[in-house]
Amino acid sequence: MLARRALPRLQQCHRLVPFLYIRLYSTTKLSNGITLAYDLHEPAKKAERGLRDLRENAPPIVFLHGLFGSKKNNRSMTRDLNRPVYALDLRNHGDSSHDPRHDYNALAEDLELFLQHHKLTRPTLIGHSMGAKTVMTLALRNRVPIANLIPIDNAPVDAALHRDFIKYTQGMRKIDETTIHRQSDADAILKDYEESISIRQFLLGNLVRQPDGTQKWQIPIKILTNALDNMADFPFKDPEEARWEGPVLVVRGTKSHYVADEMLPVLGRFFPKFELADVESGHWVTSEKPEEFRKAVVEWLQDKE
């Protein structure tokens, strides 16, 4: 007989299957009314030394996904980091709250409140795409102490999103208008808007089965469609008025245009201690070249300890 796993004290969502509780994710209700869902990945050394000692000697990492992503995207990135890793669902994504406001100051405020709630002092913040601009915004707001920044394939500039994101929303809205029972049927619709099966699977990961057997988007497509201009923007315009002097590793895909060479001078004015790690990939760095990404991050963090 399977033993019933004890539930941790953290507020959490779970489902009951015969004789077993399976922990899916935890949630935190923030003082601004937003609820953020997250996974906490604890390294193996926890059992030997205790989580408290581990946190004191290895500050935690907070990992943020990109637009249309979720905490699930970063599970494989926690290996070899040897410290607690919080993988968050940002607002309007995954299992977190939906809210009409979706811009970088709002996303950064959510993250600030999350760090304060969990008493995460001087964490390393890693974010891809939308998550990259979120962690850079948080650093420049300078309201909570952080140790290191690792933005992945985005720069602190106003730059139009690749037109693919507009196509994604068109395809997703088309699916929303159709009665879908099988993910393969949704994929057939999305093929008209995106050729890459890996990107389609990434987007389709946001579908959830309803009690009536149909599949619907878990994310608010209309809100995120309306927020595309905000996601292209960056809230800080003048490096003379806002600058963060801490260590920054900018990881960029060499086949992507989001951190072009001509953007590096502006990046350096906002973040004068930034270093650059090039990975031979497109925009989806962590999924296209996960080992190369992990190696770059682990080696860089080792130098900072």
- Is 9 contained in some domain? no
Give yes or no: residues 140 and 181 share one domain. Answer: no
- Is 175 contained in some domain? yes
**pLDDT given for residue 44 in this prediction:** 65
Domain final residue pick, 228, 246, 269: 228
Give yes or no: residues 72 and 138 share one domain. Answer: yes
Instruction: Kindly tell me if the per-residue pLDDT of 246 is higher than 70.
Output: yes
Average the pLDDT over 199-222 and give the result.
95
Read off the tokens for 6. Answer: 């004890």
Burial of 295 (0-12, 13-18, 19+ CB in 10 A): middle
Give yes or no: residues 138 and 244 share one domain. Answer: yes
Domain count across the chain: 2
Domain final residue pick, 228, 260, 283: 228
Give yes or no: residues 293 and 183 share one domain. Answer: no
pLDDT band at 10 (very low <50, low <70, confident <90, very high): very low
CA 126, CA 124: separation in Å to the nearest integer? 7
Give yes or no: residues 197 and 264 share one domain. Answer: no
Give yes or no: residues 152 and 55 share one domain. Answer: yes
- Is 5 contained in some domain? no
Domain that holds residue 243: 21-158+233-304
Read off the tokens for 278. Answer: 């090039």
pLDDT tens-digit map of 64-122: 999 999 998 877 777 667 789 999 999 999 999 999 999 999 999 999 999 999 999 89
Give yes or no: residues 30 and 143 share one domain. Answer: yes
**pLDDT given for residue 50 in this prediction:** 44
CA 240, CA 260: separation in Å to the nearest integer? 22
**pLDDT given for residue 83 in this prediction:** 85
- Is 49 contained in some domain? yes
Give yes or no: residues 274 and 191 share one domain. Answer: no
What CATH number is associated with residue 285? 3.40.50.1820
Average the pLDDT over 242-249 and give the result.
96
**pLDDT given for residue 145 in this prediction:** 96
Active site residue 196: no
- Is 207 contained in some domain? yes
Active site residue 96: no
Give yes or no: residues 61 and 173 share one domain. Answer: no
- Is 10 contained in some domain? no
Give yes or no: residues 51 and 71 share one domain. Answer: yes
- Is 14 contained in some domain? no
**pLDDT given for residue 3 in this prediction:** 35
Q: What is the DSSP string of 245-282?
A: -S-EEEEEETT-STT-GGGHHHHHHH-TTEEEEEESS-
Displacement of CA 37 from its chain's centroid (Å): 12
Token pair 């809205």 is found at: 173
**pLDDT given for residue 51 in this prediction:** 40
**pLDDT given for residue 76 in this prediction:** 74
**pLDDT given for residue 108 in this prediction:** 98
**pLDDT given for residue 80 in this prediction:** 64
Give yes or no: residues 26 and 102 share one domain. Answer: yes
pTM of the model: 0.88
Average the pLDDT over 232-243 and give the result.
94
> For the chain, how far is it from start to end, CA to CA, in angstroms?
45
Indicate the range of 7-11, 58-62, 280-284 predicted with least confidence.
Answer: 7-11
CA 169, CA 222: separation in Å to the nearest integer? 9
CA 129, CA 65: separation in Å to the nearest integer? 7
Catalytic residue among 129, 256, 281, 287: 129
Catalytic residue among 93, 102, 283, 287: 283
Give yes or no: residues 132 and 168 share one domain. Answer: no
Q: Name the more confident of 8 and 239.
A: 239
> For the chain, how many residues are written?
305
